[in-house]
Amino acid sequence: MQRSWHPPCCRYHINALYDCLNHTFLDWRIDTAQKKQETDALINIIYHSDYPQNTVFTADRGYENYNLIAHIIENNLKFVILVKDINTKTGIMTNIQTPDGTFDINATRILTRLQTKEVKTDKKKDAFNKVKNTLGMIYFHAINRVLIQQDINTTFLMYNVSEVMINNIEINQKQNRRYRYKANFTNAVTNIRLYLRNLLNEKNLVSSIKKFLIPERPERSYKRSMKSKSVKLFNHRTS
């Protein structure tokens, strides 16, 4: 996308289907920043993706759409979609009128009684952080849009490969430790890249991943930064 007040740059909007149990991206769609057709992207994913049975789709307000809900129901899928409040002007609940003035039905669903740190961790947010910062989906190796999309696809694939390999390596949890420990994802990705290039054998790969560990601290919370992000220009790799 080109504007008059800065050099040429390119923006994309990504809609991804994330598996919270296996920590991998099942599918994703790449769209331009101007369109942001989130509902169409999810409908396309529903019909063309291979996801496990009894999958429960969860989505935020950006996917609040009658057409999307109809497609999900027709495919006998389970879903939870966050919708806007009745007092808003653009929500699907805005024009609903009921005799007693209310439409809420109180319901209780206990998904789990566990209070472990793993249950409380937001896996999806952590996954996108790894994709953008650790695997480098901020700067790209090309200017051509098709090649940039290829770069995005390979980044998601690299993330999935890394997570599958890391999750299949057993980490010994020593007693009397305050925290559980997990593999350092940044270090693991570096060694997995060497392994895929045949520069590191399997034994040394596993040994290196087990050696560099970090504690799991899901109770930590940081205020979300709402600062605007500047575009990343195409000449970032030139000197």
What is the residue-wise DSSP string for 108-143?
---S-----HHHHS-HHHHHHHIIIIIS-TTS-S-S
More confident residue, 102 or 148: 148
- Mean of the per-residue pLDDT values for the chain? 79
User: What are the backbone angles phi and psi of residue 138, rounded to the nearest 5°?
Assistant: -120, -45
Residue 98 lies in a domain: no
If you average pLDDT over residues 114-123, what whole number do you get? 58
If you average pLDDT over residues 189-211, what whole number do you get? 93
The predicted model scores a pTM of 0.74
Q: For residue 20, what pLDDT is reported?
A: 85
Q: How far is CA 20 from the centre of its chain?
A: 9
Q: For residue 208, what pLDDT is reported?
A: 92
- Report which of 131, 207, 216, 134 is spatially closest to residue 182, judged by C-alpha positions: 216
CA distances from 219 to 96, 127, 140, 174, 202 (A): 39, 17, 33, 20, 34
Q: For residue 124, what pLDDT is reported?
A: 63
Residue 164 lies in a domain: yes
* 27-54 confidence digits (pLDDT tens): 998 887 666 688 888 999 988 888 888 8
Residue 158 lies in a domain: yes
Number of structural domains (the chain) is 1
pLDDT at 198 over 90: yes
Q: For residue 107, what pLDDT is reported?
A: 60
**d(C-alpha 97, C-alpha 31), whole Å:** 36
Size (the chain), residues: 239
More confident residue, 193 or 234: 193
- Residue 234 is given by DSSP the state G
Residue 81 lies in a domain: no
- Residue range(s) defining the domain that contains residue 232: 12-52+110-237
Residue 230 lies in a domain: yes
If you average pLDDT over residues 180-203, what whole number do you get? 92
Residue 75 lies in a domain: no
Indicate the helix (H) or strand (E) that contains 39.
helix 38-48
Q: For residue 206, what pLDDT is reported?
A: 92
**d(C-alpha 117, C-alpha 171), whole Å:** 17
pLDDT at 97 over 50: yes
Structure-block tokens of residue 210:
């087990």
pLDDT at 239 over 50: no
